[in-house]
Structure 1
Amino acid sequence: MRRYKSLVLPFFCVLFVFLVTGCKFENSGKTSLTDQSKQVFVTPEPEHEMVFNTPTPTPTPEPTAVPTPSAVKKDVKVKGLYLTGWSAGNKERMDYYIKLIEETELNALVIDIKNDDGIVSYESKVPAVVEAGTYLKKYDAKKLLETLHAKDIYVIGRIVCFRDPAYSKKYPERAVKHVDGGLWRENKKDKEITWLNPCDERNWKYIVDIAREAVELGFDEIQFDYVRFPDGDRSKMNFGQTGFVKHEVINNFLAYARKELPDVTLSADIFGIVCVSPEDREDIGQYLELIGKELDYISPMTYPSLYARGQIVNGIKFPNPDLEPYAVVYNTLLMARERLSKVENYKADIRPYLQAYTASWLPEGSYQKYTAEQYRQQIQAVYDAGYEQWIFWDANNKYDPDAFLKE
């Protein structure tokens, strides 16, 4: 106590002299002195911030502007799996997938950002999403991405574009209409599926704003799915205008996405049959020779189960395509390679989706159980066709771990 008392008199003497002489702090005007204990001083290096809990009113340097985060393009030969938002938010399942990737040739995951229910899988801050209430927190995006990147896993964010019953019902003026009035609905078992109108450019902005946020959160790549017009009875669909060309609308949307996200790796899923059919024969807006001009990758969904029985691919007739996974994938990709070899300035490389599920809905005798053997046949078909990358799809995220080479 004596030591502290001995300091009191000199302290007040110094303070008295200081006030009498009228000394003033030099304040640059850039820093408030009202709460000095919480001041943040920015060092000349913009990547570092240091907090000093001190009453000394040192002038603060002009803050350095920090650019909006953007995905850095990585040269990754993707060998990946698709996961839903629910799987991504399940710690036990994610631990399993991470361990599988660490032990095998796998190096990437495709994770839902917005599925075909129209719901964003994390707590989005995009104003239009917040206003519409079209998100559900299935996983913590930042935490998930930090965990995966720490394991050197490449993360692709999947955004379903125009098949969107949530936003289209919230804003029916932006949806595909039925010619008899009301919203057009898919003529399938679930007739509640409605679509956003690809011709309405307000929908383009909605989709791209979600993509931009995902990039800022840390996704390495954006993958557009359902980047097409709906199939079904076209005579019942009303798009609010006539005389447009579907593949031009889709290509213009992708050009808009590229303009808004110039440094982001962009990919898109297309039907496998698009590689086999000329031009836009499917009448959905996917034209092989044109759709990849603004993209880094296109992913034909070369699932043998989706090909019609008796489908001819590269001059070969397949009575039951699901029974011949190697030949179907190989000949589809050969046709794609041959067609694209004739196109100048085609930017996109091909990274196919492969089938990991058993198509038990097909007639008895026309399908088979898909296990490691069928996986490897498809992978070999990719390599034999001259491509290096692949992604497996199963809506239930059940993958045969024996299919992937150990490392």
Structure 2
Amino acid sequence: MRLRSIRRRRSALLAVGAVLVLGLTAVVFVFGRSRPSAANAETQPPRLELVPPAAATSYRDPVMVRGRAIGAEQVTIGDRTARPAKDGSFEIQLPHAPVDTTVVAIGAAGEKATTPLQVGVALPRIRAVHVTAYAWAYDPMREAVLDMAREGRIDTVQLDIKDEDGMVGYDSQVPLARESGAASTIYDAATALKQLHDMGIKVVGRIVAFRDPTLASWAWHNGHPDWVIQNSSGQPYSSGYGAIAFTNFASPEIRSYNRDLAIEAARLGFDGVMYDYIRRPDGNLAGMQFPGLTESPSDSIATFLRDCRDPVHEAGASLSAAVFGIAATRPDEIAQDIPSMARYTDFLAPMLYPSHWHSGEYDVANPNAQPYDIIFRSLQDFRARTAGTNTQIIPWLQDFSLGVAYGDAEVKAQIDATYAAGYNGFFLWSPTVSYHSGALAPN
């Protein structure tokens, strides 16, 4: 009897134990399925959410970046770092609008979440006149331009950096500008920029890119013939611009030179850099050679802008290009493909001078005598060619007489046509730097 009783108690205890083990196993199983393990939690990347930053008005404007980084210990943008609050919120102020930047949220175990940061730059309106280096250095001409600024008729001065002769107007420190004799002391860049900026006036520096007699002649006579556009006989390609006038846009050294000048100008404080003569010479393409060219001339011009865009932006300036009016319909004549160039510029500045159009262009019988009509219609074509890009259009308008006398009325007609076409800015060109200020309404 006693033996049977002991056996019954053992059996009962074993049964209870089995039930407890099964219960604990079930609890562990359910708990394990309902909650992640500590190891899994540690490897879960943070959740990163950005508030779209407000558009800047300059590549030098500071930019505030805000968002939430849930589960992050820190957030970095370049060399800037912030520690998120308990709810994951953070803010980081950048010194200027970034280029090709990524936001990184880092967790406790080093796990990361990343997202690209894009900050739009909405450039302010430009109402500008062109000023050569020599005109700026001459008191009466400079004061006439400054009077227009004081009266609120212009908000921007377009000041030459490198002109049609290839001379750099100030004492550039770019090595090739000094070696070739291009650097000069016609004006002091820092003084000019401070004077204009103190007045609230923006400054766009103009670089005449590939028409460059100074550098072309120096290169040809100093063992760099491949830096010069050549004719079919291997001699410098001569044109209406001179015997040795055009440098070779396919040359890496020529491209670097013009890019370095733009970066230097941006660092000096120019608000924008505009390339002019960013093209091949006009004429029969079959009679030209471009040593080292591996793509079409139009593609080479566009890739030059592509290579310049980010470095110029990072230095603080906008990037633009002056283009022929005919480039909208006949790009191959001068290697300016407008849709391609538009992808890499903040704005394009088509030279729409009425005196330069043929009779009947855009169904305008006499463009030179019909400045409103030719400006309005040609701008419609540029709008179509740049559709789908972020580039703006800011045209060059004519303030000189060539065949037809131009005064306040003719200049104002072009400005009115620009506004009517939906654009709110312009550059005026006068080769003598003498402007009809009566055409410009005070702001």
TM-score, length basis structure 2: 0.69
Do the aligned residues in 2 keep the contact of 1:71 with 1:218 (CA within 8 Å)?
no
Which structure has the higher relative contact order (CA within 8 Å, separation 6+)? 1
For residues 290 and 372 of structure 1, what CA distance do their matches in structure 2 show?
A: 36
- Give the letter aligned to residue 268 of structure 1: A
Gaps of 5+ in 1: 1-68, 360-366
For residues 74 and 126 of structure 1, what CA distance do their matches in structure 2 show?
A: 30
Do the aligned residues in 1 keep the contact of 2:320 with 2:349 (CA within 8 Å)?
yes
Pair 1:248–1:153, CA change in 2 (3 A): same
For residues 144 and 268 of structure 2, what CA distance do their matches in structure 1 show?
A: 23
Do the aligned residues in 2 keep the contact of 1:298 with 1:352 (CA within 8 Å)?
yes
Residue 290 (structure 1) aligned to one of 322, 340, 346? 340
Do the aligned residues in 2 keep the contact of 1:300 with 1:353 (CA within 8 Å)?
yes
Q: What is aligned with 1:309? A: 359
Aligned partner of residue 123 in structure 1, secondary structure: coil
What number of residue pairs does the alignment pair up? 320
Shift of 1:126: 1.0
| Alignment pair present for 1:78 and 2:162 | no
Do the aligned residues in 1 keep the contact of 2:412 with 2:439 (CA within 8 Å)?
yes
Q: What is aligned with 1:267? A: 320
Aligned partner of residue 262 in structure 1, secondary structure: helix
- Give the letter aligned to residue 381 of structure 2: M
For residues 191 and 80 of structure 1, what CA distance do their matches in structure 2 show?
A: 30
Do the aligned residues in 2 keep the contact of 1:221 with 1:265 (CA within 8 Å)?
yes
Aligned partner of residue 270 in structure 1, secondary structure: strand
Q: What is aligned with 1:182? A: 235
- Give the letter aligned to residue 326 of structure 1: Y
Pair 1:95–1:226, CA change in 2 (3 A): same
Residue 329 (structure 1) aligned to one of 367, 375, 393? 375
For residues 165 and 325 of structure 1, what CA distance do their matches in structure 2 show?
A: 33
Residue 191 (structure 2) aligned to one of 132, 139, 143? 143
| Alignment pair present for 1:228 and 2:289 | no
Pair 1:217–1:372, CA change in 2 (3 A): same
Within-5 A mapping of 1:154-303: 154-172=202-220, 173=225, 174-186=227-239, 188=240, 191-241=242-292, 244-263=295-314, 264-275=317-328, 277=329, 280-282=331-333, 284-303=334-353
Q: What is aligned with 2:442? A: 406
Do the aligned residues in 1 keep the contact of 2:180 with 2:215 (CA within 8 Å)?
yes
- Give the letter aligned to residue 134 of structure 1: A
- Give the letter aligned to residue 351 of structure 1: I
Gaps of 5+ in 2: 1-94, 99-120
Pair 1:310–1:74, CA change in 2 (3 A): closer
| Deviations 1:328-361 (CA, angstroms, capped at 9, x unpaired) | 00000012213333x3xx12100000000101xx
Shift of 1:378: 0.5
Aligned partner of residue 321 in structure 2, secondary structure: strand
Shift of 1:117: 0.6
Identical residues among aligned pairs (%): 29
Shift of 1:392: 0.5
Q: What is aligned with 1:373? A: 409
Q: What is aligned with 2:390? A: 347
Pair 1:108–1:74, CA change in 2 (3 A): farther
Shift of 1:403: 1.0
Do the aligned residues in 1 keep the contact of 2:266 with 2:312 (CA within 8 Å)?
no
Shift of 1:200: 0.9
Structure whose alpha-carbon radius of gyration is higher: 2
Residue 117 (structure 1) aligned to one of 147, 160, 165? 165
Do the aligned residues in 2 keep the contact of 1:274 with 1:287 (CA within 8 Å)?
yes
Do the aligned residues in 1 keep the contact of 2:274 with 2:320 (CA within 8 Å)?
yes
| Alignment pair present for 1:130 and 2:130 | no
Q: What is aligned with 2:423? A: 387
For residues 70 and 229 of structure 1, what CA distance do their matches in structure 2 show?
A: 35
Shift of 1:130: 1.1
Aligned partner of residue 178 in structure 1, secondary structure: coil
Do the aligned residues in 1 keep the contact of 2:135 with 2:142 (CA within 8 Å)?
yes
For residues 122 and 341 of structure 2, what CA distance do their matches in structure 1 show?
A: 22
Deviating 4+ runs (over 6 angstroms): 69-74
Do the aligned residues in 1 keep the contact of 2:250 with 2:293 (CA within 8 Å)?
no
Shift of 1:74: 7.3
